[in-house]
Amino acid sequence: MIMQPALSCDQQADPSRVRLFGVVMDALRMPAAVSRIQAWVARPGARCRYVVTPNVDHTVLLRDNVRLQAAYQDADLVLADGWPVVVASRLVGRALPERVAGSDLVPRLFAAAHDELRVFLLGAAPGVAQRAAENIHRKWDQVSVVGTYSPPLGFENDQQENQRILQRISQAGPDVLVIGLGAPKQELWVHTHRERIEAKAALCVGATIDFLAGERKRAPVIFQRLGLEWLHRMLSDPRRLVKRYARDAYIFPQLVWQEWQSVRSQRVSAASDQADYTGHP
């Protein structure tokens, strides 16, 4: 289980941050998230900062994965990717303003670039990142894809391969590293190597490279607006996703219920403490 101290009140001192499911999330809308990353890129000589985008599956994985919990705890920006996570935040009274999906964040960041934005694409199947790079160059003149790489299976456990990846990134000199390795692999890899990644920002954004390449299709807009993009993905790849979504559908409501009980308990405790302080019953 996630073992982090509970808040003494519903909202942290910083109103742009909210604790949900044991994770501190950034309660930002898309424009603010893009601006935050642009500020990182504009800062000379800055260390690499990284972004994670939790959805329902991440939330379920976080329950028992201590390494993933640490990766989330050290992340510089935590943006809710899934609509169910946003809906759950509102049900428990710690509302996030909107969904900020990684597959939307990357194109918005590209479109907002005023000067040259140097990008490295890490992940997806062989050849896919290169097709994504070609599409990016056609659509966004101000974005330069300075490198692509599809790591071999099991690379995360190969010290020499990881060194080669870090050298490729260093030699390319990107502003932004777009990582599409799947969760939790991408988050664990970035967390492990964050001090050696020579980029201003690293974005853990799942299937985004596939979307940019046209390898996979985003759900129709109506599905996205109704919060049913997960259904479109499951129907598009049932052999891989049905078991995962069945597990998530069983566990996630339990996590929401536990979160609601925790928030309710904190409110009752806070009300009791306030009554004791003021001397009223």
Question: How do residues 205-215 score in pLDDT, each as one tens digit?
Answer: 999 999 999 99
Residue 171 has pLDDT above 90, yes or no: yes
**Average pLDDT, rounded, for the chain:** 88
pLDDT score, position 280? 55
pLDDT band at 9 (very low <50, low <70, confident <90, very high): very low
| Residue 210: predicted pLDDT | 96
92-96, 164-168, 228-232: the lowest-pLDDT one: 228-232
Contact 83, 99 (CB under 8 A): yes
State residue 46's pLDDT score: 82
CB–CB of 120/203 below 8 Å? no
Q: What is the mean pLDDT of residues 211-238?
A: 69
**Residue pointed to by tokens 């990357």:** 106
Q: What is the DSSP letter of 51?
A: E
Assess contact for 263 and 3: CB atoms under 8 A: no
Question: What average pLDDT does range 109-131 have in this prediction?
Answer: 97
In this prediction, residue 72 has a pLDDT band, given cuts at 50, 70 and 90, of: very high
The predicted model gives 172-191 an average pLDDT of: 97
Q: What is the mean pLDDT of residues 173-199?
A: 97
Q: What is the sign, positive or negative, of the torsion defined by CA atoms of 258, 89, 7, 265?
A: negative
Q: Does the structure show a pLDDT above 80 at 174?
A: yes
Which of 247 and 219 is assigned the larger pLDDT?
247
Mean pLDDT calculated for residue range 56-78: 96
* Cβ pair 175, 41 in contact under 8 A: yes
Average pLDDT over residues 241-254: 82
Confidence (pLDDT) at 264: 83
pLDDT of residue 43: 92
Length of the chain: 281
What pTM was estimated for this model as a whole? 0.86
Instruction: Say how far apart CA 191 and CA 171 lie, in whole Å.
Output: 21
Distance, CA of 67 to CA of 128 (rounded, Å) = 29
The per-residue pLDDT for 7 is 41
Instruction: Please state, in angstroms and as integers, the Cα–Cα distance from residue 53 to each residue in 134, 140, 259, following that order.
Output: 25, 23, 19
Please tell me the predicted confidence (pLDDT) of residue 233. Answer: 64
For the segment 139-155, the average pLDDT, to the nearest whole number, is: 97
